[in-house]
Amino acid sequence: MEKVNKKIFVVIPCFNNLDVLKESIPSIYSDLFSIVIFNDGSTDGTETWIKKNYPKIHTINGDGSNWWTGSLKKGIDYCIEKQADYIVSLNADVLITPDVIKKLINCSQNNSDAIIASLVVDINNPLSVLWTGSKFCKIHKYIPIYSSRYILKAGKSISESNSNPYLVDEVHGRGVLIPAKVFKRIGNYDSNTFQHYGGDTDFSFRAKQAGIKMLVDPSCIAKVFVENTSINKNENGSITKKIISIKNYLIDRKSGEALKVWWNLYKRHLPYRYFLQSFLFVILLNIYRRLV
């Protein structure tokens, strides 16, 4: 990777993720940019391992109350204080390389300093896509319900994805490059309203409303340890397990906290005339997906 004349920071929120950090940090590590780990009260030896093996990495320690959004937000605050030009949001269970960061920066610079997301695949099945981006729109032009629609469904072959960067309405935390000036324009992630889930979606919607472009660059591949995530985690067991999965999805912070998250998202970002039916639609749709 040739040197890029910008101050680049990679922010990795983590909580007891040492097993995957031992793979994701060696994959991303480079002297050409800074890595910031927000360690939110891990008890698995994360801090000791990082200090021993990667002493140049800056670690910020939390008390376990920050969750994903708060951990990412505070890591970004540190990067902005250090006058970062670009910040890469990277979950602990995601592998990208320094070359991917270079591609993300080039794509951003070629698109008016847009936010650029990586295409996401399963590390154990890298030819099959997990996430290629989504659009947020009416489910039909005559039906007053808004929902996210995936550009390419999970499980499709990576060969079916677009070959050139393309616009999306939402980004996440799995290898996403954000120019620092975006935060100066729309503010940081809202960790008060969206403690764990929904912070990335809310940030995306605010960026879109401000006219900031978001693209997926399919040449940038992020490989994720799916077993550590909520991606495609539908229970295939007994009806009891499915009911527990639904209950967790609706009210548990670690599993989705959907009732609170989607209520706040739609209340903030949809006109009143679309709010209630869109909220009910997304909740019922995801309950159905967990039942079948």
Same domain, residue pair 152 and 282: no
Same domain, residue pair 121 and 260: no
Q: Is the pLDDT of residue 1 over 50?
A: no
Give the structural domain span for 116. Answer: 8-228
Q: Is the pLDDT of residue 55 over 80?
A: yes
Same domain, residue pair 148 and 171: yes
* pLDDT higher at 57 or 234: 57
Same domain, residue pair 222 and 133: yes
Which one, of 244, 225, 201, 210, lies nearest residue 92 by Cα? 225
* pLDDT higher at 4 or 69: 69
Same domain, residue pair 76 and 190: yes
Q: Is the pLDDT of residue 142 over 80?
A: yes
Q: Is residue 62 included in any domain, yes or no?
A: yes
Contact between 169 and 134 under an 8 Å Cβ cutoff? The reply is yes
For range 44-66, the mean pLDDT = 98
Same domain, residue pair 206 and 273: no
Q: Is residue 3 included in any domain, yes or no?
A: no
The per-residue pLDDT for 234 is 52
Same domain, residue pair 248 and 215: no
Same domain, residue pair 75 and 115: yes
The per-residue pLDDT for 227 is 80
Same domain, residue pair 261 and 147: no
Picking from 173, 193, 228, the residue at the C-terminal end of a domain is: 228
Q: Is residue 113 included in any domain, yes or no?
A: yes
Angle (CA) 228-225-8 rounded to 5° is 105
Q: Give the DSSP letter of residue 182.
A: H
Picking from 199, 228, 257, the residue at the C-terminal end of a domain is: 228
Instruction: Sort 148 into a burial class: Cβ within 10 Å, 0-12 / 13-18 / 19+.
Output: middle
The per-residue pLDDT for 230 is 56
Q: Is residue 118 included in any domain, yes or no?
A: yes
Same domain, residue pair 69 and 171: yes
Q: Is residue 57 included in any domain, yes or no?
A: yes
75: CATH: 3.90.550.60
Q: Into how many domains does the chain fold?
A: 2
The tens digit of pLDDT for each residue in 184-219 reads 999 999 999 999 999 999 999 999 999 999 999 999
Q: What is the pTM of this model?
A: 0.95
